């Protein structure tokens, strides 16, 4: 039910050309259109320097602990630059690369972090920009 509500809100947002920040809260879920900052669960070193945050959502188990999060951003950086940044960041060692798949329009990464965390990154090529979707999930209660 909650996921349906979140998806419904995201679809409605796509119909609106307004780029002002809008935030909706449903108990432990926070959904934001054009957030000023990304959810804190995501390592910002994965983000391209020139990014526009389009959508985000967070599911928190408590006031400060994020259980699941989503972020969609857009960047004018080239396809190759974004891949190079993500690959460089993965090689720093705090996130283990589990799987990487690519074709000419999309690259996906599945990463595993410390204390049972996972991070999925999907880079999608568009004509003038590239979109990146981040999915975070914490699999433990620590």
Q: How many CB atoms lie under 10 A from the CB of residue 22? A: 14
**CA-to-CA distance for 53 and 110, rounded, in angstroms?**
21
Q: What does the alpha-carbon distance between residue 132 and residue 53 come to, in Å, rounded to a whole number?
A: 10
Instruction: Give the domains, in start order, of the chain with CATH numbers.
Output: 2-7+24-35+42-138 (3.40.1000)
Q: What average pLDDT does range 62-67 have in this prediction?
A: 78
> Taking a C-beta distance cutoff of 8 angstroms, is the pair 115, 139 a contact?
no
pLDDT at 127: 81
Instruction: List all residues 6 or more positions away from 132 whose beta carbon is below 8 Å from its beta carbon.
Output: 47, 48, 51, 72, 73, 74, 75, 82, 121, 122, 123, 124
pLDDT at 39: 87
In terms of pLDDT, which residue wins out, 50 or 122? 122
78-131 pLDDT, tens per residue?
A: 888 999 999 998 888 788 999 999 998 999 999 998 878 899 999 999 888 899
């Amino acid at each position: 039910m909650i996921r349906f509500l979140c998806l419904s809100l995201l679809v409605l947002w796509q119909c609106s050309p307004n780029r002002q920040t809008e935030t909706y809260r449903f108990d432990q879920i926070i959904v934001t259109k054009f957030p000023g900052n990304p959810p804190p669960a995501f390592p910002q070193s994965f983000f391209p320097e020139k990014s526009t945050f389009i959508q985000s959502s967070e599911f928190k188990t408590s006031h400060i602990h994020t259980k699941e999060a989503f972020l969609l951003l857009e960047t004018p950086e080239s396809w190759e630059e974004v891949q190079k940044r993500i690959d460089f960041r993965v090689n720093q060692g705090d996130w283990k690369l589990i799987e990487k798949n690519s074709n000419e329009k999309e690259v996906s990464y599945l990463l595993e972090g410390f204390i049972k965390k996972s991070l999925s990154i999907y880079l999608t090529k568009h004509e003038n920009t590239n979109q990146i979707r981040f999915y975070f999930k914490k699999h433990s209660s620590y």
